[in-house]
Amino acid sequence: MPDAVFALPDSIDLAIVGAGPHALTLVTHLLQKKKSMRGRFLVFDPSGTWMSRWNHQFAALEIPHLRSPAVHHPDPDSFALRRFAESQADELHPPYDLPGTRLFQDFCQDVIRRWQLQNCVYPTQVEQIKPLNNQRQPRFCLQLSTGQTVIARRVVIANGGGISHVPQWVEQVPKNYPKDRLLHSSQIDLRGLQLRGERILIIGGGLTSGHLAVGAIQRGAQVLLMTRRTVYEKLFDADPGWLGPKYLKDFWAEPDWYARWQMIQQARNGGSMTPAMLTQLRRLQRDGRVVFYEQCQVSQARWIGEHWQVCCDHAALHECIQYQPIDRVWCATGSQLDATKHPLLNDILDAYPTDLVNGLPVVDECLRWRDCELFIMGGLAALRTGPTARNLSGARAVSDRIVDKLR
């Protein structure tokens, strides 16, 4: 349920789109540095609550703990989560004290309470952001799913911005299959699924595919895990050197935006699994509960009768998969960051064209869009802040830049 229902003003100084960890981080940092901003901003999210989508995704995939250490969280005090966890030490997982999912959720609720943010989230979807250029001081008109509008002097887009990425072959599959039998990971909720005796093909080599595999096996399914390269392990999405000047000084010194984009790709290097997850899956592999198909991709799939028939691009190596009836196909293939496909940036791009590098916008040092008072958070800010922009650690770095300008 929404935290509160309150009247929507006609205009607001600052509109924040999204109520996830990045938005929460921004608000706490903003209020720490400028208390007078209280009452001058509104957060918009369909749920009407903080952290709703984040909490749902962790619950839906039954993720036991975060991948980020306990120093990364929405509160301005880096050690706040450690202090909060003093009576729940068993909820900090090795290595590097990774917070348990429930601990992190409880902590975020404590942050919301301490910073008195319960009544900041307005329960509606922002459907369009229109620049209003016919004024001495430009404004933005936010069109809401309720049919209402609100005028904002400044806007921060903090709703992730990633679009579910599906492999090309999915577009070519005849649409004669039951809709729940071919899903992107963002559409899957393990809770309540009955999978006993089923064979499930999971595509992707990242941590999400690992969580899906474990969840399916716990429900009695056999899993086929297909990855386009060899599965490899990595503790974090990007090397910890990217959290400070060790790597960032060279990144910031690079004047070529395309070179920066390449540095981001190399640092993240696609999906990876934590050592603990890969160890668990290799153990399940020895028990015959999961079969790995590495360096392999689906070439085509057809729904025949009540099963999938799947062909891969290395038929000589994996011919047997073609003759295995598959009950479900799950694509744990991540999301794509592309400003041209972000529904809220269409009108912004028309009114304020900016350079794009493979979908990532070139913004100023404060993450402000060219020539206007719109700011971006998350992975779309990576060209300025580096490869951890979409992570919890990136939320703090991104917030610091934006707050300096908002003040």
Mapped onto helix, strand or coil, the DSSP state of residue 162 is strand
Burial call 57-94: b when 16+ CB within 10 Å, e when fewer: bbebbebebbbbbbbbbbbbeeebbbebbeeeeebbbe
Range of lowest pLDDT (44-48, 52-56, 236-240, 300-304): 236-240
pLDDT digits over 78-97, tens only?
999 999 999 888 999 998 89
Q: Is the per-residue pLDDT at 187 higher than 50?
A: yes
**1 pLDDT band (50/70/90 cuts)?**
very low
Q: If phi over 0 gives left and psi between -120 and 50 gives alpha, with beta otherwise, what is residue 124?
A: beta
Q: Quick one: average pLDDT of 356-383?
A: 97
Structural domains of the chain sorted by starting position, each given as residue range(s) with its CATH number in brackets? 11-163+336-406 (3.50.50.60), 166-234+269-333 (3.50.50.60)
Number of residues assigned to the chain:
407
Helices (H) and strands (E) in the chain, counts: 13, 20
pLDDT digits over 148-165, tens only?
999 999 999 999 778 999
pLDDT digits over 4-25, tens only?
457 899 999 999 999 999 999 9
Range of lowest pLDDT (152-161, 235-244, 308-317, 363-372): 308-317
**319 pLDDT band (50/70/90 cuts)?**
low
Q: Identify the helix (H) or strand (E) that includes residue 385.
A: helix 382-385
pLDDT digits over 264-279, tens only?
999 998 889 999 999 9
pLDDT digits over 87-146, tens only?
888 999 998 899 999 999 999 999 999 999 999 999 999 999 999 976 678 899 999 999
At 317 the pLDDT is 58
At 270 the pLDDT is 86
Q: Are 125 and 344 in contact (CB under 8 A)?
A: no
DSSP string, 87-111: GGGGGEETTTTEEBHHHHHHHHHHH
Q: Is the pTM of this model over 0.85?
A: yes
